[in-house]
């Protein structure tokens, strides 16, 4: 029997389920997820997913800050070309993909942050607001991160007269 894969399923409706799977297939339409603490499998339709995160641990490291963007990373590695994904919910994922093709329903993304708890992410193309590859991935990441930094500062104040 194949080894169980630790996954965190993020659904399009915002819900999240952590568990194990033995039968995920990137070209399949469904797979079975055994939620943590349950012996009952839940059938998951891939078209309901935002993304499926393959993780090192279910706990992660809450103390470690999430590094976003590409952080002066090379344009291409053994894990593929740079790809930036902006999901419809505003989340940004940056990484590398050997299999990104906009005509497919999904693709694997290896995180740009090698220290991440995520080993790889299966991204559902339909859940993305925007996906860019190559040099355009850097531009999308920079644009989104600049927007987040501006939003964190709050609205600009009018100069006093």
pLDDT tens digits, 17-74:
999 999 999 999 999 999 999 999 999 999 999 999 999 999 887 777 676 777 666 6
C-alpha span between 74 and 123 (Å, rounded):
22
Q: Domains of the chain: which residue ranges?
A: 5-60+67-152
How much is the pLDDT for 75?
Answer: 61
How much is the pLDDT for 103?
Answer: 93
CB atoms near residue 131 (< 10 Å): 21
Range 88-98 average pLDDT: 95
C-alpha span between 8 and 118 (Å, rounded):
9
How much is the pLDDT for 78?
Answer: 67
C-alpha span between 111 and 148 (Å, rounded):
20
How much is the pLDDT for 157?
Answer: 45
pLDDT tens digits, 138-159:
999 999 988 876 665 555 444 4
Residue 161 pLDDT class (50, 70, 90 cuts)? very low
C-alpha span between 8 and 45 (Å, rounded):
14
pTM: 0.86
The DSSP result for 108-128, as a single string, is EEEES-TTSSEEEEEEEGGGE
How much is the pLDDT for 158?
Answer: 46
Cβ-Cβ contacts under 8 Å for 102 (sequence gap 6 or more): 125, 131
């Amino acid at each position: 029997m194949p080894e169980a894969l630790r996954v965190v399923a993020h659904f399009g409706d915002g819900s999240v389920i952590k568990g194990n799977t033995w039968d995920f297939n990137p070209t399949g339409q469904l797979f079975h997820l055994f939620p943590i603490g349950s012996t009952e499998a839940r059938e998951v339709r891939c078209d309901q997913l935002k993304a499926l995160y393959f993780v090192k641990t279910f706990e992660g490291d809450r103390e470690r800050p999430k590094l976003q963007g590409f952080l002066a990373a090379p344009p291409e590695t053994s894990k593929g070309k740079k790809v930036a994904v902006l999901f419809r919910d505003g989340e940004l994922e940056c990484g590398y993909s050997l299999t990104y093709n906009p005509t497919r329903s999904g693709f694997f993304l290896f995180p740009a942050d090698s220290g991440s708890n995520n080993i790889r992410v299966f991204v559902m193309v339909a859940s993305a607001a925007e996906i860019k590859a190559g040099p355009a991935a850097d531009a999308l990441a920079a644009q989104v991160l600049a927007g987040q930094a501006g939003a964190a500062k709050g609205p600009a104040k009018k100069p006093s007269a």
